[in-house]
Amino acid sequence: MKYKLSRTCKDCKNVDVFELTKLQAAFSHTDDIDKFWNVNCSVCGSTNCKMINKESVKIDEELLNLWGMDSNLSFATQDEDIILADVAYFDIILNSIDDDRFLDKKIDLLTSALCILLFDNIVSPEEYTSSENQQRQRIAALVVKALSKRKSSIIRAQYLISDYVKKLVFPKLNI
Ligand SMILES: [Zn+2]
């Protein structure tokens, strides 16, 4: 599957579409994408670019495995743990978090992501409906179960974990 990057010309409004591979789309960062700002418009030749739009990639097991074993790959220049703190990624994170081929830094990011996922599902219940809170409690219980077995990993990853996350999450884990 190809992923699209579109570039809108500021002068003639033409939209040029470029194709990225899954790996390019997943691991391209600001610097790689910035190059498209300077490409000539295919219609008027202008290098004035109005905007660049990159299709986002859902992280799957293949991407997570590549990422976990290669220090040069990142999903974003910062806050990768926030990107990974998504219930949609919970299962693939659990499949990888004990993989000893994964680099320590990547395991720390996965651990931090689970802490953020727990935080997101316990913070401010008053802002959610009761059925939303039931769903959040179910997710929180699964994450607590996963994290409770990994206290030493959490201690190791705590340099990545924000204080406001620690404050709410650590007591739930008896840390
Ligand atoms: Zn143009």
pLDDT in tens, 146-156: 999 999 999 99
User: Ligand 1 center to residue 159 CA distance, Å?
Assistant: 47
- Among candidates 137, 7, 28, which has minimal Cα distance to 77? 28
> What distance in Å separates the CA atoms of residue 108 and residue 14, rounded to the nearest whole number?
44
User: Ligand 1 center to residue 46 CA distance, Å?
Assistant: 5
User: Ligand 1 center to residue 47 CA distance, Å?
Assistant: 8
Residue ranges with CB less than 5 Å from ion ligand 1:
9, 11-12, 14, 41, 43-44, 46
**Count of Cβ atoms closer than 10 Å to residue 32 Cβ:** 13
Task: Please enumerate in sequence order all residues whose Cβ is within 8 A of that of 170, keeping only pairs 6 or more positions apart, or say none.
Answer: 154
User: Ligand 1 center to residue 59 CA distance, Å?
Assistant: 34
Rg (CA), the chain: 20
What is the H or E stretch that residue 11 is in? none
Q: What is the mean pLDDT of the chain?
A: 96
Q: How confident is the model at residue 32 (pLDDT cuts 50, 70, 90)?
A: confident
3 state SS of 112? helix
3 state SS of 173? coil
Please report the pLDDT score of residue 33 as a whole number. 87
User: Ligand 1 center to residue 13 CA distance, Å?
Assistant: 6
| Minimum mean pLDDT range among 10-24, 30-44, 80-94, 128-142 | 30-44
> What distance in Å separates the CA atoms of residue 61 and residue 158, rounded to the nearest whole number?
25
Q: What is the pLDDT of residues 110-145, one digit of tens each?
A: 999 999 999 999 999 999 999 999 999 999 999 999
Tell me how far apart the 2 most distant CA atoms of the chain are, in Å: 63
User: Ligand 1 center to residue 45 CA distance, Å?
Assistant: 6
Percent of all residues in the chain with a pLDDT value above 90, rounded to a whole number: 93
pTM: 0.90
